[in-house]
Structure 1
């Protein structure tokens, strides 16, 4: 695990941001209903799977569908022109949100989500970039969406007589972080493409992709799975020096079925998805524009401070409960940790209770968590676990209540 970055935050943020967080939570209609007095108070702790939607996003979608709904790029009447303008505005908005210093050189392509975006790059761009004898680096302990497309490309090229070597991304033992020193030793002149993750979907760690460029040199293309970072913390393509950033809108407070591929267009052929472009998800794109506006207005720095502090409170409590094993870097658990903190994702197991059973037990107390293998690759965890993933609408009281329930299961 790495030393703290400039974004490192601590439990004090829970006090500093408490009034801000109350105002944030009040903007999510799903939490405003009257609880059933016969049922436990619900606590949604599965934002790494999909995030809840603020009223501003819901209102933007309703306004679009009731005033402007039409197809984009296929008509000359007012509604169609407004929809086309909306799509183009949202492309520009994505570039701005990602801190793109040269937006005139980059492109944004809308997809159904991160998985579709990564597969589009693997199918429509990567084959033309690779030659016989080239090497690609694949993060084999990350999400399968960032593993399988690259392996499928290797197999498709092999059938054409083009042989590409897959090199597994090296990891630090015991932490789940990338081993950037080992990566630098592994990379060579035939290393052409590196797939990486920004925030790990199981361990919650910032994988420090800004260090990958130094490790692999100036010529390799770097594709970043940002599904767990965009919408959760500030993301700057100017600082990261990657070539692709792919993310899911639905994890960034937009509607399901929405995502984007940002392409720097600086290394290799220009990125252009193949085939005929059908009707875009215009309602989803409208929701994405509204979500990015809401995130900027609310403050990504404060969202990150809050969720990191909640994760620190949870790990600090869990590390005193002997019945639980916390996955990821063990040095990041204490409240006074001197290493980089987890980004709002905490995954653990009970040493005696099956994780699936533990998930059902927690739901009986009102907690909505994920309990399975989390779609991790072949080099990842072999045993199911429970994942708690947080956003700005989660409260300190939810974490304390969760810890109380977990303590009672020792």
Structure 2
């Protein structure tokens, strides 16, 4: 895999090197726990002949989230911040409580000074930062760094901000984030060389939506220094693996200024998302315009989803999905008809580097990805098959993406491998 802007020189801090040990026994040790959680997804248990493998696009909802939505709509439904009667007061309290719930889920080290604003999802959240906050922060001649091989939602808002500033006579430089050619991870050594005194803002992704790699954001802070603002697209990490703004134990601190994510990828309802803002570097983040009526039922579902995820144990969810992905790549790499995108070194069962975070993307050498998606559905597998909204510096050809979550099983992965092998 070759990504424009990569750096192939000697690396003293291998960007894709393993920070935490892989867990070869996760599938055995967590099997009973996983079965109990799988039973909590009505859409999964109600369709035993189907395997939902598109969790990077949207996650299914556990019964606790559906029950919270039903209870809210049948006992409390009202507008927030608009009335003084009990239903309205309870709705207002639910929205404000959800802000605190987001802070706790992110392990916010200073919740008294941070802010949480609800949006329709990651795309709207990133765009609000780009258009409502970034123009107040940047000056003529400043530089921003943008990951042009990540999701388009983490690219186009910053280009839009560049045009908006230019219309006002403020000209900034948009620099491409460097990637490591062998893995698709950010090249933190090259990034340190790229960042300079005018580097004011860096947009990054926590987990890559195509390659499935943890992009090691804690190393981004070391590379760009203490003053640059870092905006984290956490669409593929919130609800899939632990995210800690304070760090602790083996979990590195996410020293970022913004965390943006979508609720529907974290088991909440669609049309819900959040922007967490540290409020320590630059002006305070306040979305522009009149806020209007919030998506109260979506916000209620998000709080319930975060409760469920904490109770289930996000660290165990990560162990399960990483182990499933490793089982899948370890077998798929031996099928000559397929190319797995991303880091080749991570495919083997005894890989010395970090594994994919539940996301595996591949191509068949002879079957177009769109056709392969239809074929797999005929066997009961729901996958994504297109170019996955990747930016201009990423993959241009279509591919098939399998994205796993806690309700997915070893048997589903093995059955998928059997079908793929039959197509060789």
TM-score interval, smaller chain: over 0.9
Aligned partners of 1:68 and 1:5: how far apart in 2?
Answer: 46
For 2:35, the equivalent position in structure 1 comes to 22
Inter-partner Cα distance in structure 1 for 2:192 and 2:183: 19
Does residue 1:315 correspond to 2:332, yes or no?
Answer: no
1:204 aligns with 2:212: yes
Preserved CA contact (<8 Å) 1:370 1:387: yes
Within the candidate set 377, 381, 385, 1:367 is matched to 381
Displacement, 1:34? 5.9
SS in 1 for 2:345: helix
SS at 1:131 equivalent: coil
Q: Hey, what's the Cα distance between the residues in 1 that align with 2:261 and 2:372?
A: 30
- The answer to whether the Cα contact below 8 Å between 1:10 and 1:312 also exists between their aligned partners in 2 is no
Per-residue deviation, residues 280-317 of structure 1 (Å, max 9, x unmatched): 00000000010000000000011000000000000001
Matched position secondary structure for 1:237: coil
Contact 1:60 1:286 in 2 (8 A): yes
1:76 offset after TM fit, Å?
0.4
Secondary structure at the counterpart of residue 400 of structure 2: strand
* Unmatched runs of 5 consecutive residues or more in structure 2: 1-14, 247-252
Say whether 1:354 aligns with 2:368. yes
- Whether the aligned pair in 2 keeps the contact of 1:169 and 1:178 (CA below 8 Å) is yes
Aligned partners of 1:25 and 1:31 also within 8 Å:
yes
Q: Measure, in 2, the Cα distance between the counterparts of 1:134 and 1:107.
A: 26
Contact 2:144 2:202 in 1 (8 A): yes
CA contact (8 A) 1:139 1:146 kept: yes
Matches within 5 A, 1:331-350: 331-350=345-364
Work out the CA distance in 2 between the residues paired with 1:397 and 1:78: 49
Selected match of 1:147 from 155, 161, 166: 155
Which of residues 37, 50, 56 in structure 1 aligns to 2:64? 56
Aligned to 2:26: 13
Partner of 1:215: 223
TM-score by length of 2: 0.94
CA distance in 2, matches of 1:106, 1:114: 18
Query: Residue in 1 aligned with 2:319?
Result: 305
Tell me if the contact between 1:332 and 1:338 (Cα under 8 Å) persists in the aligned partners: yes
Matched, 1:247 2:255: no
Secondary structure of the 1:331 match is coil
**TM-score (ref. length: structure 1):** 0.98
Structure 1 residue 144: Cα displacement:
0.2
Partners of 1:312 and 1:379 in 2: how far apart? 26
CA deviations on 1:148-176 (whole Å, 9 max, x unpaired) are 00001001111111100000000001311
Structure 1 contact 10–335 (Cα < 8 Å) conserved: no
State the match for 1:38 in structure 2: none
Q: Is the Cα–Cα contact under 8 Å of residues 200 and 227 in structure 2 kept in the other structure?
A: yes
In structure 1, distance between residues paired with 2:233 and 2:301: 21
1:9 Cα deviation after fit: 3.0
Matches within 5 A, 1:88-127: 88-127=96-135
Contact 1:11 1:312 in 2 (8 A): no
User: Match of 2:185?
Assistant: 177
Does 1:229 find its partner at 2:229?
A: no
Query: Following TM superposition, by how much is the alpha carbon of 1:327 offset from its aligned partner in structure 2, in angstroms?
Result: 0.3
Query: 2:283 aligns to what?
Result: 269
Check whether the contact 2:16–2:183 (CA below 8 A) recurs between aligned residues: no
The answer for the alignment partner of 2:342 in structure 1 is 328
C-alpha RMSD of matched pairs (Å):
0.8
Aligned to 2:46: 33
Residue 394 of structure 2 aligns to a residue in which SS? coil
Distance in 2 between residues matched to 1:189 and 1:246, nearest whole Å: 26
**What corresponds to 1:136 in structure 2?**
144
Could you say which residue in structure 1 is the equivalent of 2:401? Answer: 387
Structure 1: distance between partners of 2:367 and 2:284: 51
Q: Tell me the distance in 2 between the aligned counterparts of 1:114 and 1:31.
A: 26
